[in-house]
Chains A and B, each alone.
Chain A
C-alpha cells in the first residue's frame, strides 16, 4: 500500500518522452551524415525522378533530333555523354529515356504489388484451402525463371513498353504474394486482432484498420527493392529488342544500338549502362536503409 502511495507521489515516472520535431531532425541529419553513400543514393534517385517527370529541366534539347555532322563525338563540354551515330546528344537521350524506363518500372511494380498483394492478402486472410491453392500457384510462378516467364508473356502480348512492363510485373508477383501473406498471417494471429474479433469487429474493418497498415511496411520495402530489379529486367528486355520501336530512347535500347559501335565509340554503351547501374544501386541502397537501418541506428 505504502509503495503505491510513494510511487504515485514521486510524480513523473520515467515515461519515454516523444522526441520533438527538432530532435528528430537532428537525429536524421546525424544519421545521414554518417552515411554519405545513402545521401548520394537519394540525390541520384531524385535526379532520375526529375528526369522521368520533367526531363526538360535536366536536358532541354530534342532527344530525337541530331546534327548529322556531329555524329560519334566523344564526351565533351558540349555533349557530356557524347553524340550517337546520327549526331543526337546521348545525355539528352538518356534523360528522356528515363521517363520511358521509369514509366515501365512503375507499371511493373504496380502490377506486381497489386496482384501479388491481393493474392497474399487473400491467402493469409482466408487461409485453409484457398491459402494452399494460391501458394502452390505462387510456387509454380517461382519455378519458372522470371525472364522466361516475361518472354512467354511478350510472345503472347507483343512488343512495346507497356507490354514489357506487364510481363515483368507478372513475373514479380510471387515475391509480393509471399511477403503479403506472411505479414497477413502474422498480424491476423496477433493478440489485438484476436481481441478485436472477439468484440465483433467485422472482417473488412479488421482488414482495413489492422492488416493493411501494418503489412504496408515490409511490402513497401520489397516494392523499393523490386523497383531496382524491375529496372534491370525491363532494360534487359528492351536490350533484346522487345521495347518501344525507334527512335525511342529506352535505356536498354540505347545500349543495344551502341553495341554496333563498341570498338570505336565506347560512350554509347558504357554511359547509359552506368546510368542504369547507378540507379539500381541507389534504389537498393535506399531499400536497405528503409529495411530497418533507421530504427537500428536509433
Chain B
C-alpha cells in the first residue's frame, strides 16, 4: 500500500450532492380511482395518527388521536346530531329530564351485550357512573359531566334515573360523548391503570391489541345490532379490522397516504393539502366545537398571573397571519373563547384584534420596561413566558414559533417547552407550567365551566372573579335562551380577564384514500367508523 493520500473530499462531495439533488420528489401515484358502488363488508382500514395518549380507556382519554380509536369500541346512551346538535337515541331509546334538571330517567334498549357476553343493562350503567367520581386525574372530562353526582337508581333492567345534587343541564350532552361510553362492569371495577391497558365495551368493534406508542388494533364485533340511530346502516360494521398506527411526523403520515401504505390520516399540515389532493386523496374537514386553540395561563405564577401581560400577548398576536401561515385552508382565526360551531358561541372579535401598539402601551403602563435586547423587564424580572405544549397536532410547533416571533415585537420573550402528551394530566394537576397551549373539543358550552370554574379541577388556578357565578349559573339554567345569554357574558368576561388567549379554531382535516368510503364525523368532529368500508377489500 503506497503512502499516496486518498482523494476523498471531491468525489465524496459530488456523490453526496448528486444524492441530495436526486431526492426531489413530489407525491405522484395515488390510489386508483375506485368505482364506489354499494358498501361491501370486509377489509382492513389502516389509520395513521400522530400520538398516543398512553391509555385506551375511553373514560380516561382526552386526546383526539386516541379518541378516534377508543370511540369505536364503546357505545353511548345518546348520540348527538352533527348538523343540528340535537340528541338522538343510541343505547337509550328515550329519556326524560326532571323539571328541576336534577334528575334524568333513561329507558335502555334490550338485548345489548358487551363483547365478553355480559348484558348491558341499567346495573351496568350504574356501575359505570358510580365509578366515575373515583377516577384520577385522567378522568377530568367524565367527572365534569357528572358534577354533583348523587347516584343512579335502577328501577328495572331497562330503566334507571341519574340524580344530581344541583341542576346539571350539560349532563345529557355528556352522555353522547366517548367519555361516558359504557364499559362492562368488570372493566369499570378495575383500577385506573389497569383500565388504561385495556377495557371491554359493547361497541361495533372490539379492542384486539394495544401496543403503547405503536399501534391500536380493533376487530369487528360480530352480532352488533344496537347502533346509534344516526348510523347509516344497521347491524355489524363493514370493516373486519381497523389498525391505528402511531406516526408522529406529519410529513411521514402524508407520504404514507400518498403511497397507499395507509388509508386515513389525521392532523394534516397545510403543506400536505395540495400533494394529497393531487394524489387522489379526499380531504374531510369539520370545525371542532369547544374551546379553541389558545394559551391558558397558570394564574398563580408570577409572570402569567399579571393580567397586563396576558392582555398584551393577546393584542400582539396576528391571528390571521398565523392561520394563513400554518393551518389547513378551512381554518378560521378564533373570534371567541368558544369555536364558532359551539352552541351559544358569541362573537368577540372586537376584543381579539391585532394591535401591537396598544399591547406595548399596556405593558408600559404596568411597569414592564424594554431592555437592551428588546425583552421587557420589571424590577429585575425579565418578561419571560414559558408555553408548554405537546406535539400532537402538526400545527402546534410552527404556530408557537410564529407566536414567539410576534410576541418578541412587543417585548415578550416566549419560550417554547415541549412535553409528551401522556404527561398532560400530571402537568395540569400539579400546576408545573406557566402557560399551556391547548384546545378542548366539546359540543356544549359547559366546557367553559369544566376548564375555568374555581369549583372544578381549576388547573389554571383562576381566582374568584365575576366569571364564576356566570359559569355556575349556565350549568343550572334549563331555559336555552337564558343559558345562551349567560354563556355570552361568560365569554366576554373570560376574554376581559384574559385567563385564556384564544388564537385559532381547530378544524379537523382528515386525509382519506380514494378506496376508503363512509368515514363520518360525529358532533365532536371525531370519526365514526361503523359505516366505513373499503372498495378494494379483498
A/B contact in complex, CB under 8 angstroms: yes
Task: Please name the 10 residue pairs, one residue from A and one from B, whose CB atoms are nearest each other, closest first.
Answer: A37-B9, A260-B251, A270-B20, A68-B325, A262-B251, A263-B255, A296-B3, A260-B250, A37-B7, A246-B416
Does B209 make an interface contact (CB < 8 A)? no
Task: Out of A68, A85, A278, name the residue touching B13 (CB < 8 Å).
Answer: A278
Q: For A66, list chain B residues within 8 Å (CB).
A: 405
Of residues 257 to 296 in A, which have CB atoms within 8 Å of B's CB atoms? 257, 259-266, 270-271, 273-274, 277-278, 281-282, 284-285, 288-289, 293, 296
Q: For B274, list chain A residues within 8 Å (CB).
A: 264
Of residues 32 to 85 in A, which have CB atoms within 8 Å of B's CB atoms? 35-38, 40-41, 64-66, 68, 71-72, 85
Task: Out of A259, A277, A296, name the residue touching B249 (CB < 8 Å).
Answer: A259
Q: Are A293 and B5 in contact (CB under 8 A)?
A: yes
Q: For A293, list chain B residues within 8 Å (CB).
A: 5
A-B contact pairs, 5 of them (CB 8 A): A259-B249, A260-B250, A260-B251, A262-B255, A296-B3
Does B117 make an interface contact (CB < 8 A)? no
Does A86 make an interface contact (CB < 8 A)? yes
Q: For A86, list chain B residues within 8 Å (CB).
A: 325-326, 398, 401-402, 405
A259-B20 in contact given A266-B25, A293-B5 (Cβ < 8 Å): no
A245-B418 in contact given A260-B249, A285-B8 (Cβ < 8 Å): yes
Does B84 make an interface contact (CB < 8 A)? no
A241 to B391, CA, bound (A): 12
Does A127 make an interface contact (CB < 8 A)? no
Instruction: Name A41's closest neighbour in chain B (CB-CB).
Output: B9
Does A25 make an interface contact (CB < 8 A)? no
Instruction: Name B9's closest neighbour in chain A (CB-CB).
Output: A37
Instruction: Name A245's closest neighbour in chain B (CB-CB).
Output: B416
A158 to B381, CA, bound (A): 24
A81 to B394, CA, bound (A): 23
Does A247 make an interface contact (CB < 8 A)? yes
Q: Are B9 and A40 in contact (CB under 8 A)?
A: yes
Q: For A273, list chain B residues within 8 Å (CB).
A: 20
A85 to B3, CA, bound (A): 49
Q: Are B252 and A262 in contact (CB under 8 A)?
A: yes
Instruction: Name A274's closest neighbour in chain B (CB-CB).
Output: B20
Q: Are A263 and B25 in contact (CB under 8 A)?
A: yes
- A256 to nearest B CB, angstroms? 9
- B5 to nearest A CB, angstroms? 5
Q: For B394, list chain A residues within 8 Å (CB).
A: 260
Instruction: Name A268's closest neighbour in chain B (CB-CB).
Output: B251
A260-B8 in contact given A246-B400, A247-B404, A270-B23 (Cβ < 8 Å): no
Q: Are A263 and B416 in contact (CB under 8 A)?
A: no
Q: Are B269 and A260 in contact (CB under 8 A)?
A: yes
Of residues 395 to 446 in B, which have CB atoms within 8 Å of A's CB atoms? 397-398, 400-402, 404-405, 408, 415-418
Q: For A266, list chain B residues within 8 Å (CB).
A: 20, 23-25
Instruction: Name A40's closest neighbour in chain B (CB-CB).
Output: B9
> Given contacts A285-B9, A296-B3, could you give 17 more A-B pairs where the C-beta distance is less than 8 Å?
A40-B9, A64-B405, A64-B408, A72-B271, A85-B271, A86-B325, A86-B402, A246-B416, A260-B251, A260-B269, A260-B394, A263-B275, A266-B25, A274-B20, A281-B8, A281-B12, A282-B9
Q: For B110, list chain A residues within 8 Å (CB).
A: none
Contact residue range for chain B?
35 or more
Instruction: Name A247's closest neighbour in chain B (CB-CB).
Output: B401
Instruction: Name A36's closest neighbour in chain B (CB-CB).
Output: B10
- B286 to nearest A CB, angstroms? 23
Q: For B402, list chain A residues within 8 Å (CB).
A: 68, 86
Q: Are B418 and A281 in contact (CB under 8 A)?
A: no
Q: Are A35 and B23 in contact (CB under 8 A)?
A: no
Q: For B12, list chain A residues within 8 Å (CB).
A: 281
Instruction: Name A64's closest neighbour in chain B (CB-CB).
Output: B405
A241 to B401, CA, bound (A): 15
Q: Are B5 and A263 in contact (CB under 8 A)?
A: no
Q: Are A264 and B16 in contact (CB under 8 A)?
A: no
A289 to B7, CA, bound (A): 11
| Interface mask (B259-271 → A, CB under 8 Å = 1, otherwise 0) | 0000000000101
Q: Are B271 and A277 in contact (CB under 8 A)?
A: no
Instruction: Name A34's closest neighbour in chain B (CB-CB).
Output: B5
Does B324 make an interface contact (CB < 8 A)? yes
Does B78 make an interface contact (CB < 8 A)? no
Q: Are B415 and A245 in contact (CB under 8 A)?
A: yes
Q: For B255, list chain A residues within 8 Å (CB).
A: 262-263
A83 to B326, CA, bound (A): 14
Q: For B535, list chain A residues within 8 Å (CB).
A: none
A107 to B248, CA, bound (A): 32
Q: For B16, list chain A residues within 8 Å (CB).
A: 274, 277-278
Q: Are A263 and B258 in contact (CB under 8 A)?
A: yes
A288 to B271, CA, bound (A): 44
- A90 to nearest B CB, angstroms? 14
Task: Out of B23, B271, B325, B416, name the residue touching A260 (CB < 8 Å).
Answer: B271
Q: For B9, list chain A residues within 8 Å (CB).
A: 37-38, 40-41, 281-282, 285
Task: Out of B13, B27, B321, B415, name the residue touching A263 (CB < 8 Å).
Answer: B27
Q: For B400, list chain A residues within 8 Å (CB).
A: 246
Does B156 make an interface contact (CB < 8 A)? no
A102 to B254, CA, bound (A): 34
Q: For B250, list chain A residues within 8 Å (CB).
A: 260
